[in-house]
Structures are given as C-alpha cells and as structure tokens.
C-alpha cells in the first residue's frame, strides 16, 4: 500500500496531466453528441421544409450523426495520447476481419443506400416487403421500420427488403378491386351480370375510367363464378371493397339469385 502511495506522490504531475486529458476527451465526446443532435435536427427541419421523404431524412441524419461521432472519437483518442494514425492503420488492418464478421451489418448498410437511391418506397406508404406488410415509418442505416395495421412496429433488415420482392400499394393513385362471386347454375347469367354491374356503378367511389368489368370467369363444380373488377382511388380501396361485398350479397338475395354451398353428388352401388 505504501508503495502505491509513494508511486502516486512521485508521479503526481503525470497523473494530473493525464487526468486533465481524459476529462477533455470526455468533454469532446459530450460536446460532439450535442453538436450531432443540433446538426441532425437542423438537417431534419431543412429537409422537411423542402418536403423531402421522411425515410431519406432519417437515413441521412443517421449517417451524419455517425460521421460526427467517429470524428469526435478520433480527436478524443488523440487527446489522451493515442496515435490516431496508427489507430487508423490498425482499424484498416482489422477491417477485413471486421468486415467478414459483420457481413450482415455491412449488407444492411449497402441495402439501405440502395433503398434511398432508388426509393421503391417512401415514408407513409403501405408496402409488403421482407415477409411483412405495413406502413413505412423510417429507413435507417440497418433496418426498415414498418408499422402494421394492428399497430405493431416491425424492424426488417434492409438486406431482406432489397433482396426480396417489394409490393408498394400506395405508389399509384388508383387500385383495382378483384372480387369473385359464385352463383347458382340455375341463375340467369345476363340478369346476374346486370345486377352486379348495377351494384358497383351505384357506388360513387367506383370510377368510370378505367371502366369496371363484370365477366363469367369459371364454371366450377358447384357454381358459376363471376369476376367483378371495379377501380377506385387507393385511399378508398378497403372501405369500397367491404361495402361492395355486403351490397352484392344483399342485392343477390333481393333478386332471388342463390349463392350455392359447395356440394357433391354421392352414388351408392350395391354389390
């Protein structure tokens, strides 16, 4: 114990100097965090005023914050006496090993850059990607954040998004509703077709251009199937879909047109 006290007394100057450097390094990192928040906050406001996509804003802000933090870390290490040139050289030498160990993370970063460049989806759009469907909340460095209709937040790795199929339901202003309505073989086909057309054209949300379409699509074992394909605005898709199904059922009942249950004829043969 006395030896430690003697060593401290002998090296007081060095310890005080080094402690000051450590404190300054901590202050540098703390200030860098504040600066990063201020810079990214200003960036977000500026890009929002220019009506840039929210996903792009989030991605660029994350990149800038990372760059500021790495620069501050190098300055802080230099302050405490670590040779940053040798440190960078060590990082470069270890880069290959780190890259191999972090292949997934690096792939997510590269995929995030591609998502921002080609913009197959934007914040606020409803998409299906990586096996999940939801509204795009943000695209950050590693993940795409989706919010499902039942308000679950799903984090999908960017590599899964860019490596699979992306279905964007909001990119176009119009969507086609595809319904299949089966009726009894005893139903009059022309009457049924007219009834279905009357139901869809009576809904003000159904567009006249493109023109709605009603056709016989299949003669199944238990029913004659009609395809019913009206067009509507994208934001009206689901309300129109549900309302048309209900109205078609009610109108077919009024007209005495049956919707048959699946049925099978069974013939018994005695030996």
Q: Which residues contact 47 (CB under 8 A, 6 or more apart)?
A: 56, 57, 60
* Res. 178: pLDDT tops 90: yes
Residues 94, 160 within the same domain:
no
Query: Greater confidence, 17 or 28?
Result: 28
The mean pLDDT value of the chain amounts to 84
pLDDT score, position 37: 85
**CATH classification of the domain holding 134:** 2.30.30.60
Residues 162, 181 within the same domain:
no
Residues 135, 178 within the same domain:
no
pLDDT score, position 9: 62
Tell whether 62 is covered by a domain: yes
Tell whether 246 is covered by a domain: yes
| Residue 1's pLDDT band (cuts 50, 70, 90) | low
pLDDT score, position 191: 95
pLDDT average, residue stretch 73-93:
68
Tell whether 113 is covered by a domain: no
Residues 161, 200 within the same domain:
no
Across 85-89, 196-200, 245-249, least confident range: 85-89
Residue 120 has which token pair? 């197959």
Measured on CA atoms in the order 233, 234, 236, 240, is the torsion positive or negative? positive
Tell whether 214 is covered by a domain: yes
Residues 135, 180 within the same domain:
no
Q: Return d(Cα 210, Cα 22) in angstroms, integer.
A: 70
Tell whether 123 is covered by a domain: yes
Using alpha carbons only, how large is the chain's radius of gyration in Å?
Answer: 32
Domain total of the chain: 3
Q: Return d(Cα 77, Cα 56) in angstroms, integer.
A: 32
Q: Return d(Cα 13, Cα 11) in angstroms, integer.
A: 5
26 lies in which domain range? 12-101
**CATH classification of the domain holding 188:** 3.30.70.100
For the chain, the residue count is 271
pLDDT score, position 203: 95
Specify which of 16-25, 54-63, 109-118 reaches the highest per-range mean pLDDT.
109-118
pLDDT score, position 104: 63
Residue 161 has which token pair? 């998004």
pLDDT tens for 213-241 read 999 999 988 899 999 999 999 999 999 99
pLDDT score, position 169: 94
pLDDT tens for 251-270 read 999 999 998 877 666 778 77
| Residue 204's pLDDT band (cuts 50, 70, 90) | very high
pLDDT score, position 80: 72
Tell whether 16 is covered by a domain: yes
Contact 215, 227 (CB under 8 A): yes
* Res. 201: pLDDT tops 90: yes
Boundary of a domain, candidates 109, 136, 168: 168
Boundary of a domain, candidates 74, 101, 128: 101
**CATH classification of the domain holding 80:** 1.10.287.1260
pLDDT score, position 42: 84
Query: Greater confidence, 47 or 27?
Result: 27
pLDDT score, position 211: 95
Residues 198, 240 within the same domain:
yes
The model carries a pTM of 0.62
Residues 25, 91 within the same domain:
yes
Tell whether 134 is covered by a domain: yes
Tell whether 264 is covered by a domain: no
Residues 16, 96 within the same domain:
yes
pLDDT tens for 123-154 read 889 999 988 999 999 888 888 999 999 999 99
Residues 77, 18 within the same domain:
yes
* Res. 97: pLDDT tops 60: no
């Amino acid at each position: 114990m006395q030896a430690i006290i003697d060593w401290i007394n002998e090296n007081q100057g060095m310890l005080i100097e080094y402690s000051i450097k450590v404190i300054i390094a901590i202050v540098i990192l703390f200030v860098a965090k504040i600066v990063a928040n201020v810079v990214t906050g200003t960036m977000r406001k500026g890009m929002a005023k220019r009506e840039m996509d929210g996903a792009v804003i989030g991605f660029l802000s994350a990149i800038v914050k990372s760059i500021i933090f790495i620069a501050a870390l190098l300055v802080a290490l230099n302050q405490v006496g670590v040779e940053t040139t040798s440190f960078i050289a060590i990082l470069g030498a270890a880069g290959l090993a780190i890259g191999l160990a972090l292949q997934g993370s690096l792939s997510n970063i590269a995929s995030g850059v591609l998502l921002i460049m080609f913009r197959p989806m934007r914040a606020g759009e409803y998409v299906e990607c990586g096996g999940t469907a939801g509204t795009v909340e943000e695209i950050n460095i590693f993940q795409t954040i989706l919010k499902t209709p039942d308000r679950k937040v799903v984090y999908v790795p960017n590599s899964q998004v860019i490596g699979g199929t992306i279905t964007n339901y909001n990119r176009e202003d119009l969507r086609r509703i595809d319904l299949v309505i089966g009726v009894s073989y005893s139903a009059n086909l022309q009457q049924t077709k007219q009834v279905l057309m009357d139901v869809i054209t009576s809904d003000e949300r159904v567009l006249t251009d493109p023109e709605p379409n009603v056709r016989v699509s299949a003669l199944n074992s238990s029913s004659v199937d009609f395809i019913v394909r009206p067009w509507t605005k994208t934001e009206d898709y689901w309300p129109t879909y549900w309302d048309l199904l209900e109205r078609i059922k009610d109108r077919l009942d009024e007209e005495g047109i049956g919707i048959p249950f699946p049925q099978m004829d069974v013939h018994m043969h005695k030996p």
